């Protein structure tokens, strides 16, 4: 004769006291440690007749409560699991990490670069992602970005890259993201920009950030060949000088 606790019941043994947890009814039954040792031995498949100091009264109570059963043969009872097993939970907690988070906050740009595409690829050198699939139905809201930042931070992420389009054209959203990132404690924040439009920038909100400035030309003539809408290239130098006076951290990339 064999006895097994139910698939929804877990025996937890402490030094002085023990318990049986019934996860199906959210019930806990306190028992002596000796009885817990007995139940664990029975669950391992030891016949009832071979277990010393068997507590038949407790076994009868467990049968009445639907927390255990007698079996003619050594039945295998697979325990019900609620949530992640400890091994997987601990692995995810200790091993899963995000080192860099890229947030694409808009598809709007003030340049019409000849080489710009509208597919799903991200140009990591320029930070551009001109994706033709944006619509009002799939654009994330401010709370969505906050949620992404919070979840990424919990997974160990401390480096944030903000790309577009041109992120500075969405200053309201960008300032919200910067405030949340600052509050969470992101240590490195990079904003990818062409630096042609910084009039709306609130510099006080950029205290934790750096610019990654991407430029396709170093003069107006070359810019006109690469950028279809031919922006005034003197604005680029003017804004570069503003950054220099403010001693704002920046990385300049030609491509």
Model pTM? 0.59
Mean pLDDT, the chain, whole residue set: 84
Please give the pLDDT value at position 14. Answer: 75
Residue 124: predicted pLDDT: 45
Strand extents, DSSP E, the chain: 2-5, 9-13, 17-22, 27-32, 68-71, 100-104, 159-163, 188-193, 209-215, 250-254
Q: pLDDT digit string (tens) for 150-191?
A: 999 988 899 999 988 899 999 999 999 999 999 999 999 999
pLDDT < 70 positions in the chain: 80-96, 117-138, 255
Q: What is the DSSP string of 153-198?
A: HHTT--EEEEEBS-GGG-HHHHHHHHHHHHHHT-SEEEEEE--S--
Give the per-residue pLDDT at 179. Answer: 95
pLDDT value of residue 93: 61
């Amino acid at each position: 004769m064999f006895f097994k606790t139910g698939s929804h019941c877990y025996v937890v043994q402490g030094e002085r006291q023990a318990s049986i947890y019934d996860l199906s009814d959210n019930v806990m039954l306190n028992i002596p440690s000796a009885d817990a040792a007995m139940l664990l031995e029975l669950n391992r498949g030891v016949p009832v007749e071979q277990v010393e100091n068997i507590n038949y009264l407790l076994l009868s109570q467990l049968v009445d409560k639907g927390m255990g059963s007698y079996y003619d043969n050594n039945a295998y009872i697979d325990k019900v699991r609620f949530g992640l097993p400890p091994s997987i939970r601990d692995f995810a907690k200790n091993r899963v990490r995000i080192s860099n988070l890229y947030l694409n906050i808009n598809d709007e740009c003030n340049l019409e670069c000849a080489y710009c595409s509208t597919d799903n690829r991200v140009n990591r050198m320029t930070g551009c992602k001109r994706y033709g699939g944006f619509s009002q139905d799939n654009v994330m809201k401010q709370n969505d970005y906050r949620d992404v930042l919070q979840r990424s931070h919990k997974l160990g992420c401390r480096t944030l890259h903000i790309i577009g389009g041109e992120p500075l054209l969405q200053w309201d959203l960008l300032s919200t993201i910067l405030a949340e990132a600052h509050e969470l404690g992101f240590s490195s924040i990079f904003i990818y920009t062409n630096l042609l439009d910084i009039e709306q920038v609130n510099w006080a909100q950029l205290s934790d950030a750096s610019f990654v400035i991407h430029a396709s030309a170093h003069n107006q003539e070359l810019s006109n060949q690469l950028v279809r809408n031919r922006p005034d290239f003197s604005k680029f130098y003017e804004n570069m000088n503003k950054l220099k006076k403010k001693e704002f951290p920046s990385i300049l990339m030609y491509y």
